[in-house]
A = this chain, B = another copy of it.
Amino acid sequence: MNAAVRAVVRTALFNELDVYAIRQGYKGLISGNLKKVDSSDVSNTIQRGGTILKSARCEQFRTPEGREIAVQKLRDNGIDALVVIGGDGSFQGATLLGKEHGVNVIGVPATIDNDLVGTDETIGYDTALNTATEAIDKIRDTADAHDRLFLVEVMGRDAGFIALETGIAGGAELILLPESLTNLSEIKSSLTRVLEEHQRSSLVIIAEGDETGGALKLSEELKPDFGKYDMRVCILGHVQRGGNPTARDRVLASRLGSAAVTVLIEGHSEVMVGVVNNKIKLTPLKMTFGKKKDINYELVELAKTLR
């Protein structure tokens, strides 16, 4: 996300605009936690995980009164446009600022789950994918005995993008996604096939939002039948949210952050900038709410062919 902030700042300065950085999101906006920045404030930040702007939840911004204060702070500082980096929750807030007060707002998609419509990929996704894949590689190194069964839970409350691509990249024997129903007897027969017929250890990837209820719950349900195997659970959790961003994530964030400023200058508002088929594409912010991008079902089939 720092790469996106840097691109917004430097593209604005390149176009001789003043730029302010607001820390802690809408909460910081309401409390006036903002300052004018120049080029060197974003030097040496592109490689950092997390975000230099920090993040925070803000209940107050959900009320018209809260947003009134927010707009006043923008006006006090002579700010007439806002670039919001985040997911559909942040975009809903931005849309209200636009609708209620005429603030120009542009959304930049940054969610780990990659389920936003209007962009092929969101900022943070490729990094999370690689982090999860590296963890699975390390587990593979110990999968040399054929009586082991690994259950690895990755992020994805509503969407299986990380689980699906990590599962393919990690060569998982079974991938459990929120998007597809898998009943326990299917899971058991798949595992039996690998563990007994192929005499291999078995690695199952589970999205946290899968209907089985996650890795721990599944391990308990498998215990009666698979108790003779050495069953191990790994829950990666927030490890997937940090780490130095991948090259691809930084280039994507640089493109989107820069495009956000360019389209503002061109007069757009209440749109999200995305990359579709390697080109910048605009999508009205309101079209991003409540929708979910579909996973690639071709990859679901590929995973079954290759396992």
Contacts and interface: CB of A to CB of B under 8 A. Distances in A.
A96 to B, nearest CB: 22
Interface string A127-152: 00111111111111111110100100
Interface string A236-275: 1111111110111011001100100000000000000000
A216 interface: yes
Tell me what chain A mostly uses at the interface: helix, strand, loop, or mixed: helix
Interface in A28-84: 39-40, 43-44, 46-51, 54-57
A278 interface: yes
Given A120-B278, A144-B50, A235 B238 contact: no
Contact of A130 (B40, B246, B278): B246
B14 A168 contact: no
B141 A241 contact: yes
A244 B134 contact: yes
Contact of A11 (B137, B278, B305): B305
Contacts of A165: 247, 251
Contacts of A250: 133, 168-169
B232 A234 contact: no
A281 interface: no
A217 B47 CA distance: 28
A212 interface: no
Contacts of A171: 6, 43-44, 46-47
A197 to B, nearest CB: 11
A242 B200 contact: no
A48 B141 CA distance: 8
23 contacts: A3-B169, A7-B302, A11-B305, A14-B305, A40-B198, A40-B200, A47-B140, A50-B141, A50-B142, A55-B145, A129-B248, A130-B130, A130-B248, A133-B246, A137-B243, A139-B239, A139-B242, A141-B241, A169-B250, A169-B254, A232-B238, A254-B302, A255-B302
